[in-house]
């Protein structure tokens, strides 16, 4: 099926760490040749089977950031290629935007990075992040029900010389913090006293998007300097600015900064919405970004496509979208 001529603009969402689940991408690889080829390419580049890790786990190995980053990238690119089979090789989305790690998937979909380049970069990124902070010394938590200013005030008070900061501005009333575990423990009660409805630990292995990741950012910068980037074929939103990426040098700088900088997800989504886009496809496991999208703009529509069921629903989604 090719998309109807009247199909409105469609933006693509690519999830990051925290969305993983055993079985992700396996069903899609069984029904779509492009998805299956994507897993085969990843194994060839990485030297280990992403498909086996997705299907069999164990979850402890899957969640380890050095494995999870290339695995999530592979699942998202497999889903994107399955989508492209339906939309046609010349089809372009209105924009691509990825949350943290997902920004690399978004750049692949926009033609700025090859899949092989991205795999090597995120494998290094994952290893560098894992090695930047000893296991058990850092973490992240989602603070529900407070605005960014309230969260920042608690972080400033409870850091007490340690690292604790805002890491993700995900949606109104959902702010993620990152830092040393001792500081996170101190802040938990203070967030609740300030009115937070919940403080939810995230299933990640390191404290991302804070100053503790400085060594990882420098290692990624060195790797990015050797990569031949291309101009994106469509707007790709930068997590650091909440606006489309600029030229190749600007992309390198933004990807380095993203490692230690808060993810301005609400700003990214808002920019796309401001272009008149109301239809999205989330390409990867889970429904995290679809849920955040609804919190940002209730009128927006989102199809989750990471398995054979999502692929089956695509045709109806496109028809409804064009109606």
* pLDDT tens digits, one per residue of 248-289: 999 999 999 999 999 999 999 999 999 999 999 999 998 999
Mean pLDDT, residues 296-308 taken together: 94
Q: Are residues 84 and 15 part of one domain?
A: yes
- Residue 194's CATH number: 3.30.70.250
Q: Are residues 294 and 224 part of one domain?
A: yes
Q: Are residues 178 and 99 part of one domain?
A: no
Structurally, the chain folds into a number of domains equal to 2
Q: Are residues 124 and 17 part of one domain?
A: yes
**Cβ-proximal residues to 240 (8 Å cutoff; 6+ apart), any chain:** 254, 257, 258, 261, 264
**2 domain-assigned:** no
Query: Is 205 designated active site?
Result: no
Mean pLDDT, residues 62-83 taken together: 95
What percent of the chain clears pLDDT 70, i.e. is strictly above it? 97
**301 domain-assigned:** yes
Model confidence at 7, pLDDT cuts 50, 70, 90, reads confident
Its pTM stands at 0.95
Q: Are residues 159 and 300 part of one domain?
A: no
> Does residue 6 surpass a pLDDT of 80?
no
> Does residue 223 surpass a pLDDT of 90?
yes
Separation of first and last alpha carbons in the chain: 16
DSSP state, 244?
A: B
Q: Facing residues of 138 across strands? A: 180
The order of strands in the sheet holding 301-305 is 95-98, 10-14, 279-283, 301-305
Q: Are residues 294 and 172 part of one domain?
A: no
> Does residue 191 surpass a pLDDT of 80?
yes
- Residue 311's CATH number: 3.40.366.10
- Give the Cα separation of 105 and 269 in Å (integer): 16
Residue where a domain stops, chosen among 179, 204, 229: 204
Model confidence at 5, pLDDT cuts 50, 70, 90, reads low
Q: Are residues 156 and 278 part of one domain?
A: no
> Does residue 305 surpass a pLDDT of 90?
yes
Query: Is 100 designated active site?
Result: yes
Q: Which residue range is the domain that position 153 belongs to? A: 138-204
Q: Are residues 218 and 116 part of one domain?
A: yes
Of 170, 172, 182, which Cα lies nearest the Cα of 212? 182
Residue where a domain stops, chosen among 159, 188, 204: 204
pLDDT, tens only, 100-150: 999 999 999 999 999 999 999 999 999 999 999 988 899 999 999 999 999
Q: Are residues 153 and 34 part of one domain?
A: no
**4 domain-assigned:** no
> Does residue 98 surpass a pLDDT of 60?
yes
Q: 19, 29, 100, 105: which is the annotated catalytic residue? A: 100
Q: Are residues 174 and 49 part of one domain?
A: no
Question: Residue 321's pLDDT is what?
Answer: 61
Residue where a domain stops, chosen among 182, 204, 226: 204
Q: Are residues 226 and 115 part of one domain?
A: yes
> Does residue 320 surpass a pLDDT of 80?
no
Q: Are residues 244 and 119 part of one domain?
A: yes
Q: 99, 209, 245, 261: which is the annotated catalytic residue? A: 209
**5 domain-assigned:** no
Mean pLDDT, residues 52-74 taken together: 94
């Amino acid at each position: 099926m090719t998309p109807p001529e009247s199909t409105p603009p469609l933006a693509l969402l690519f999830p990051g760490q925290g969305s993983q689940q055993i079985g992700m991408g396996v069903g899609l690889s069984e029904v779509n040749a492009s998805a299956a080829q994507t897993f085969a390419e990843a194994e060839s580049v990485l030297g280990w089977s992403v498909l086996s890790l997705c299907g069999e786990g164990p979850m402890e190995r899957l969640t380890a950031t050095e494995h999870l980053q290339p695995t999530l990238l592979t699942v998202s690119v497999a889903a994107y290629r399955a989508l492209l089979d339906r939309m046609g090789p010349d089809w372009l989305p209105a924009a691509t935007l990825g949350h943290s790690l997902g920004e690399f998937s978004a750049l692949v979909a926009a033609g700025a990075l090859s899949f092989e380049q991205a795999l090597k970069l995120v494998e290094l990124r994952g290893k560098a992040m894992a090695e930047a902070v000893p296991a058990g010394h850092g973490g992240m938590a989602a603070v529900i029900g407070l605005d960014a200013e309230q969260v920042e005030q608690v972080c400033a008070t409870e850091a007490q010389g340690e690292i604790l900061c805002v890491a993700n501005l995900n949606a109104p009333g959902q702010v993620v913090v990152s830092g040393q575990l001792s500081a996170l423990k101190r802040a938990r009660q203070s967030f609740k006293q300030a009115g937070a409805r919940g403080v939810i630990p995230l299933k990640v292995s390191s404290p991302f998007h804070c100053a503790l990741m400085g060594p990882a950012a420098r290692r990624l910068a060195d790797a990015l300097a050797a990569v031949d980037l291309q101009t994106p074929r469509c707007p790709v939103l930068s997590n650091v600015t909440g606006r489309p990426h600029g030229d190749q040098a600007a992309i390198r700088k933004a990807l380095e900064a993203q490692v230690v900088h808060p993810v301005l997800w609400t700003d990214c989504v808002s920019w796309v919405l401001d272009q008149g886009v109301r239809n999205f496809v989330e390409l990867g496991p889970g429904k995290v970004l679809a849920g955040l999208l609804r919190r940002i703009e209730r009128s927006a529509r989102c199809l989750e496509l990471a398995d054979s069921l999502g692929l089956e629903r695509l045709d109806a989604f496109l028809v409804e979208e064009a109606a």
